[in-house]
Amino acid sequence: MFIEPNISGEKTGWIEVICGSMFSGKTEELIRRLKRVKFANLKVEIFKPAIDTRYDETQVVSHDANAILSTPIDNPQAILLMANDVDVVGIDEAQFFGEEIVNVCQTLAMQGIRVIVAGLDMDYKGKPFGSMPQLLAVADYITKLHAICVKCGNIASISYRKTMQDGQLLLGEKDTYEPRCRKCYQKGASIQ
């Protein structure tokens, strides 16, 4: 990722979005970037939705158990109150926040803060998820990650839900979801 040099001396912020399906490594990549920032002695605040307690109540945890301490929040506006005097803000599972997450990220970037956001770009039906399309539209940098289809081994971009439960919001892991390519997703969807 090339970042233009800042010749004005003014603090410049930007928005990075890491997106993809479940099991593509989004949280792993978020944690990797945030640990590098911490190693550089920059001040970091990390946030996640309070509803996401799958692995831990206060840590952002990847599927392969890498973790970093975070602050669980119910409302993205809380980020603006808690991100005082920071260089970088990390946000995991952004698709679970309402549309106000977009304004929060833009406000932080205008304040000269680097914002790194991770989230699902599509839901289990292959439809845009929450405010992720708007975040992708305003992002300065986008990283789209892919999983491997568990059926055929091709790249997977859709999180296939293995249960018949409806509703866009259903927290789960390998027992509930699996990554699939377009063809294998369609084959499974036509069976249901």
Residues marked as catalytic: 93
Beta bridge partners of 39: none
For the chain, list the strands marked E by DSSP: 14-20, 44-49, 59-61, 67-69, 71-73, 88-91, 114-120, 141-145, 147-148, 155-156, 158-161, 177-180
Alpha-carbon distance of 181 to 58, in angstroms, equals 32
Residue 71: CB atoms within 10 Å = 15
